[in-house]
Chains A and B, each alone.
Chain A
């Protein structure tokens, strides 16, 4: 997150929400508390609040995404904000305008928050630096860098089922090298006091010097990596990486790293199985596990809505610096 631009209230959030690296536990807890309240709201028949009435949120997606965009859109609408969705990959940029010009043009329409998704790492940071108004930038996933709201919904889900994160052993399995979610999860899990964070996968899918860069333990043997884990977070396998040189075949990948009932049995008895979706059944996760008793994959989606409502309220609602 960026430093506040002006003197802020003591418990105000930074103006932009760009990632979870370096974000304090107090800030994360504030978002989680807000999200917990919204979670109750979204389970009621009347799901709408007036919190952001008169405020404008623009979802600016330079990379297509169904679930994240829908989640942000619904979150804004449930808070009564005016929500605009722009699929920029199919509009202005094709006319030759740079993506940053698109950002500046939209800023001139005086929104309160710009939710940005982009295929290149660091773009929300550049956008935040380029803005001159008090509009907040919210990172909805940048390249292979961060996806902070996705990670917080995982934290909320874990807390909901297991209580405090403190002391938990978490195994993140799969393509961490290309996962923005994994980086954000790791930062948040560290901040919230997880005892162990393990990355599990072949060397081709583990980012360079992960131990030093991210403070994790690396396992190339899935059985060892899952031993005693309290939480298993499966990552989506990009199928083009299987056609490329990272993994020889789906068959071999599933045999070595796929999560089936036998592997789940290595983890703690009350293990939680998570997946950010969309899942590749039979590639990274077996249906018996995805639909099984330990899976919280669908509650994750509901929590995602609550987290995005919380972030929008705290930033677009004027509670940020």
Chain B
């Protein structure tokens, strides 16, 4: 299939391109950007007038729940949500059941993703077997099966000695470790951010220090070992500062922010709203501002959703007991655009954080619109307003704190390798 996307505003943050242009696609790759060669005879023309054409989004922090918890989400439903959200590459965390700490699970994920055929799914292997924090997983075996990084996400690696060895071993092969930073003894029993709101609600709090001390520990260990680390879902001003200092020293430390930490604070817990419960918790306004500033200046080069689907019953427990996490794939683009609307950063920078930024951290061939690149592309109408309606989402779970929000920017087409995967049931 030879495709031309005609007359859209092409924004490719990686190359700095931002102009009205055509894109020609053949054999799953981009053949031309700008002027389409006269002899290029397309089978299909997508009229992109008035739309933005950008690289397909890369979400490097997603829980697809398969294998093991398919009632929350499976690879097919998660891929569908990704396609509807303009996300063409998904990196999925290892906390499945069984844990993705063995080749068979990695292969199972990849083959289910291939069957769904809606997005590129990149498994992340566990750092330690069964996420227990005790024995290193077979990282080389997992990498050869297709894992693009390693993470015990959902849990920290509590033992500093194990963390040191994990970093040393990973550094041997230049593998990336993605770290969930939480000091268990400091967050034990906590249900939300420690602060005035938790005190009024009578909920045990989790101090910022729970994140910060672990980020500090792991930055120090990265320096000791020469390891490459990426700090997941950074939520505190202190965490941002530690990452900034590490980068200034030349350490290989990157980080990401989740949309909920960019838009919400602990006061959004309101009257025990379980959709505002996540780990790390929503922090205070100063933290939100620090995380926003870090995304704007590139200290955090990635916005990643931490898409964590849960069925209604898992959220329908007392606040302190209910499951952590929110869905995110279908609101990622709208919320990212809102950062530009709120003048936190310009539109190309915002798009970089969900395209070339995460692709660079993971070393993926994705997130770019250059000639010869894979034709993973998102088209969206930047003016279209839409309301977040959980019942209309494609994810199997609807635990979003953004229900009812009015967002601007609606995905019209998602292409993976030149194939239109959204709208569903399109031409192919």
Interface centre among B272, B317, B321 (most CB of A within 10 A): B272
Report B-chain residues with C-beta under 8 Å of the C-beta of A209. Answer: 195-196, 199
Identify the stretch in A42-50, A139-147, A162-170 within 8 Å (CB) of chain B at 4 or more residues: A139-147
**Is B347 part of the binding interface, using a Cβ–Cβ cutoff of 8 Å?**
no
- Whether B319 contacts A120 by the Cβ 8 Å rule is yes
- Whether B197 contacts A213 by the Cβ 8 Å rule is yes
- Whether B196 contacts A122 by the Cβ 8 Å rule is no
Identify the stretch in B76-84, B202-210, B297-305, B327-335 within 8 Å (CB) of chain A at 4 or more residues: B202-210
Q: Chain A's nearest CB lies how many Å from the CB of B69? A: 19
Contact check: which of A98, A144, A207 meets B317 at CB < 8 Å?
A98
Q: Chain B's nearest CB lies how many Å from the CB of A205? A: 13
Mark B197-221 against chain A: 1 for CB-CB distance below 8 A, else 0. 1111111110100000000000000
Q: Using a CB-CB cutoff of 8 Å, which residues 183-198 of chain B contact chain A? A: 194-198
**Count, A-B residue pairs, CB within 8 A:** 68
- Whether B271 contacts A125 by the Cβ 8 Å rule is yes
Do A118 and B318 form a contact, CB below 8 Å, given A208-B195, A208-B205? yes
**Is A265 part of the binding interface, using a Cβ–Cβ cutoff of 8 Å?**
no
- Whether B200 contacts A21 by the Cβ 8 Å rule is yes
Query: B-contacting residues of A (Cβ < 8 Å)?
Result: 21, 98-100, 118, 120-123, 125-126, 142-146, 180, 183, 207-210, 212-214
Report B-chain residues with C-beta under 8 Å of the C-beta of A144. Answer: 202-204
**Is B316 part of the binding interface, using a Cβ–Cβ cutoff of 8 Å?**
yes
Q: Using a CB-CB cutoff of 8 Å, which residues 154-205 of chain B contact chain A? A: 194-205
Report A-chain residues with C-beta under 8 Å of the C-beta of B319. Answer: 120-122
**Is B33 part of the binding interface, using a Cβ–Cβ cutoff of 8 Å?**
no
15 A-B residue pairs with Cβ-Cβ distance under 8 Å, sorted by A, are A98-B317, A118-B318, A120-B320, A121-B203, A122-B201, A122-B271, A122-B319, A126-B318, A145-B203, A183-B202, A208-B199, A212-B196, A213-B197, A213-B199, A214-B199
Q: Chain B's nearest CB lies how many Å from the CB of A163? A: 29
- Whether B203 contacts A143 by the Cβ 8 Å rule is yes
CB nearest to A187 among chain B residues? B200
Q: Chain A's nearest CB lies how many Å from the CB of B193? A: 9
Question: How many Å lie between the Cα of A275 and that of B303 in the bound state?
Answer: 52
Q: Is the interface of A mostly helix, strand, loop or mixed?
A: mixed
- Whether A122 contacts B272 by the Cβ 8 Å rule is yes
Question: How many Å lie between the Cα of A145 and that of B199 in the bound state?
Answer: 8
Interface centre among B196, B198, B200, B271 (most CB of A within 10 A): B200
Question: How many Å lie between the Cα of A144 and that of B320 in the bound state?
Answer: 11
Q: Chain A's nearest CB lies how many Å from the CB of B170? A: 35
Q: Known pairs A209-B195, A213-B199, A214-B200. 11 more at Cβ < 8 A? A: A21-B200, A98-B317, A120-B318, A121-B201, A122-B201, A122-B202, A122-B271, A143-B318, A144-B203, A180-B202, A213-B197
Q: Chain B's nearest CB lies how many Å from the CB of A52? A: 29
CB nearest to A179 among chain B residues? B202
Q: Chain B's nearest CB lies how many Å from the CB of A138? A: 17
The number of residues on chain B lying at the interface, defined by a beta carbon within 8 Å of a beta carbon of chain A, is 22
Report B-chain residues with C-beta under 8 Å of the C-beta of A180. Answer: 202
Contact check: which of A100, A123, A145 meets B201 at CB < 8 Å?
A145
Report B-chain residues with C-beta under 8 Å of the C-beta of A21. Answer: 200
Question: How many Å lie between the Cα of A255 and that of B407 in the bound state?
Answer: 59
- Whether B318 contacts A122 by the Cβ 8 Å rule is yes
CB nearest to B198 among chain A residues? A208
CB nearest to B272 among chain A residues? A122
Report B-chain residues with C-beta under 8 Å of the C-beta of A213. Answer: 195-197, 199-200
- Whether A121 contacts B205 by the Cβ 8 Å rule is no
Question: How many Å lie between the Cα of A100 and that of B197 in the bound state?
Answer: 25
Q: Chain A's nearest CB lies how many Å from the CB of B68? A: 21
Interface centre among A120, A122, A123 (most CB of B within 10 A): A122
Q: Chain A's nearest CB lies how many Å from the CB of B201? A: 6
Question: How many Å lie between the Cα of A11 and that of B271 in the bound state?
Answer: 25
CB nearest to B273 among chain A residues? A122
Report B-chain residues with C-beta under 8 Å of the C-beta of A123. Answer: 318
- Whether A143 contacts B316 by the Cβ 8 Å rule is no
CB nearest to B205 among chain A residues? A208
Q: Chain B's nearest CB lies how many Å from the CB of A116? A: 11
Q: Chain B's nearest CB lies how many Å from the CB of A39? A: 29
Contact check: which of B198, B207, B272, B316 meets A98 at CB < 8 Å?
B316
Mark B265-287 against chain A: 1 for CB-CB distance below 8 A, else 0. 00000011000000000000000
Question: How many Å lie between the Cα of A5 and that of B33 in the bound state?
Answer: 60
Q: Chain B's nearest CB lies how many Å from the CB of A158? A: 23
Question: How many Å lie between the Cα of A125 and that of B200 in the bound state?
Answer: 14
Question: How many Å lie between the Cα of A126 and that of B321 in the bound state?
Answer: 13
- Whether B194 contacts A121 by the Cβ 8 Å rule is no
Report A-chain residues with C-beta under 8 Å of the C-beta of B197. Answer: 213
- Whether A146 contacts B316 by the Cβ 8 Å rule is no
Q: Chain A's nearest CB lies how many Å from the CB of B198? A: 7
Question: How many Å lie between the Cα of A145 and that of B269 in the bound state?
Answer: 14
Do A125 and B199 form a contact, CB below 8 Å, given A120-B318, A208-B194, A208-B205? no
Question: How many Å lie between the Cα of A255 and that of B385 in the bound state?
Answer: 64
The 5 tightest CB contacts between A and B, nearest first, are A145-B202, A122-B272, A120-B318, A213-B196, A213-B199
Question: How many Å lie between the Cα of A68 and that of B207 in the bound state?
Answer: 33
Report A-chain residues with C-beta under 8 Å of the C-beta of B318. Answer: 99, 118, 120-123, 126, 143
Do A143 and B199 form a contact, CB below 8 Å, given A98-B316, A120-B321? no
- Whether B199 contacts A207 by the Cβ 8 Å rule is yes
Question: How many Å lie between the Cα of A240 and that of B316 in the bound state?
Answer: 30
Question: How many Å lie between the Cα of A208 and that of B318 in the bound state?
Answer: 22
Mark B311-346 against chain A: 1 for CB-CB distance below 8 A, else 0. 001001111110000000000000000000000000
CB nearest to A99 among chain B residues? B318
Report B-chain residues with C-beta under 8 Å of the C-beta of A214. Answer: 199-200
Interface centre among A99, A125, A209, A210 (most CB of B within 10 A): A209
